[in-house]
Amino acid sequence: MTDAPAARSSAHDADPIPPAAADAVAELMASGDLFRYTAAADAPVTLLEREFAAALGSRHAVAVSSCSAALFLALRALDPAPGARVLIPAFTFAAVPSAVLHAGCVPVLAECGADYRLDMDDVAAKLPGCSALLVSHMRGHTSDMDALVDLADRHGVPLIEDAAHSLGTTWRGRKIGTLGAMGCFSFQSYKMLNGGEGGILITDDADLAARVIVMSGAYEHNWSKHDIPTEAMARWQNRLPLYNTRMSNLSAAVIRPQIPLLPARVAAGRRNHDALAARLAPCPHLSVPAPLEGEARAPDSIQFNLVGISGAQADAFAHEARRRGAGVSIFGRSEDNARAFWNWGFLDDVPDLPQTRAMLMRACDLRLPVRTTAAEIDALATAIIGAVEAVAPAPRFGT
């Protein structure tokens, strides 16, 4: 008899780094050449930018120290007036409203629905008077991009995509991150490409790219080590502050060998997510929102809602699921959760957003590193269903 594998899922699980990265890092250590602008050409960061732009089919990519830095620079590249309003989803990570504040702007929070996506009526109501629309594809869930692009166009408001968790996701066959004026991605460890920390901004607009390149810290003629037209750089050199959010060659050396693995990681992430979602779906107290029509996700986690469960039962469920090995947290019920907007005490004004609050109080979050095996998915499903049945037994029918 073989033992069933224990459920294993932790927010701290990351996927292994391919051995080619160790060789690239060893080579860098031997040369000591860690600064992106020392080499005359083809430094690891430059190559990462070239390869990432090619993989996404965008004209320009600028690698930086984090996705938050990319979001900050994206907003600054639009040259917003001090105090300009920027629409963001109320369901996002605290770093997103923080980037808006850092850029000298004011975040305006739009409601999100039980499917974790932007409420388009609330976006339409709040967009007038905003200078930018920054959509976080939170946990990789894509809002209705046809409606968002249309709304942004109609109001003449630039759209920035926070695709921190969405590398590999497509919308009607188009790559997420390429639908707006700029797209920002994260290389923090729990993302599809793991650099420990890091981020990258993509755009087809040479002037936006040039502005981001200067502000990221390409002082003097270091811009010549980017793939960027000289005319665009001539317009911006010495005209903008240097915020110095550059990426180090070490990070690029770790990230680059992972790019060819992306299609396999996306396929594994989708397979794991869909297998677990299928196991949870029949449970009357659990609901896994379906993707939108047109969305092909690249999940590195799963979210599902508790249905017909009291607050006390929800807390007991999370505790019981963790005891059984499934590292589930409930966004709105775990202490200090950085994705619960009422914890963003750094904002001057935290609005009341009842729809998003209700969702966060029942929405469960579980990381699914792409290396998770079918047996582990099975064990996670057993743990989650067992935990929910322990706290809220399914109704019994018949005599």
Ligand X SMILES: Cc1ncc(COP(=O)(O)O)c(C=O)c1O
What residues make contact with ligand X under the rule CB under 6 A? Answer: 66-68, 92-93, 95-96, 136, 138, 162, 164-165, 186, 188, 199
CA 293 to chain centroid, in Å, comes to: 20
Q: Which is nearer to ligand X, 80 or 89 (CB)?
A: 89
Bridge partners of 92?
none
Q: Which is nearer to ligand X, 167 or 286 (CB)?
A: 167
Closest separation in Å from C-beta 65 to ligand X: 8
Judged by DSSP in three states, 206 sits in helix
What does the alpha-carbon distance between residue 193 and residue 11 come to, in Å, rounded to a whole number? Answer: 16
Q: Which is nearer to ligand X, 97 or 325 (CB)?
A: 97
Q: Give the residue from 333, 334, 328 showing the smallest Cα distance to 367.
A: 328
Closest separation in Å from C-beta 325 to ligand X: 24
Closest separation in Å from C-beta 224 to ligand X: 27
Closest separation in Å from C-beta 387 to ligand X: 25
What angle do helix axes 67-77 and 95-102 make, rounded to 10 degrees?
Answer: 40
Closest separation in Å from C-beta 41 to ligand X: 27
Closest separation in Å from C-beta 35 to ligand X: 21
- Helix or strand holding residue 186 (H, E): strand 182-186
Q: Other CB atoms closer than 10 Å to residue 346's CB: what's the count? A: 10
Q: Give the residue from 241, 135, 140, 258 showing the smallest Cα distance to 198.
A: 258
Give the DSSP per-residue string, 274-341: HHHHHHHTT-TTEE-PPPPTTEE---SEEEEEE-S--HHHHHHHHHHHHHTTB--EETTTSTT-TTSG
Q: Which is nearer to ligand X, 63 or 321 (CB)?
A: 63
Closest separation in Å from C-beta 158 to ligand X: 18
In sequence order, what are the residues at sequence separation of 6 or more whose Cβ sits closer than 8 angstroms to the Cβ of residue 221? none
Is the CB of residue 54 less than 8 Å from the CB of residue 200? Answer: no
Closest separation in Å from C-beta 68 to ligand X: 3
What does the alpha-carbon distance between residue 184 and residue 70 come to, in Å, rounded to a whole number? Answer: 6
Q: Which is nearer to ligand X, 52 or 93 (CB)?
A: 93
Q: Which is nearer to ligand X, 93 or 171 (CB)?
A: 93
Closest separation in Å from C-beta 191 to ligand X: 7
Q: Which is nearer to ligand X, 189 or 355 (CB)?
A: 189
* Dihedral sign, Cα of residue 240, residue 246, residue 249, residue 255: negative
Tell me how far CA of residue 246 lies from CA of 37, 38, 228, 376, in angstroms. Answer: 10, 13, 17, 38
Q: Which is nearer to ligand X, 24 or 74 (CB)?
A: 74
> What does the chain come to in residues?
399
Q: Which is nearer to ligand X, 92 or 178 (CB)?
A: 92
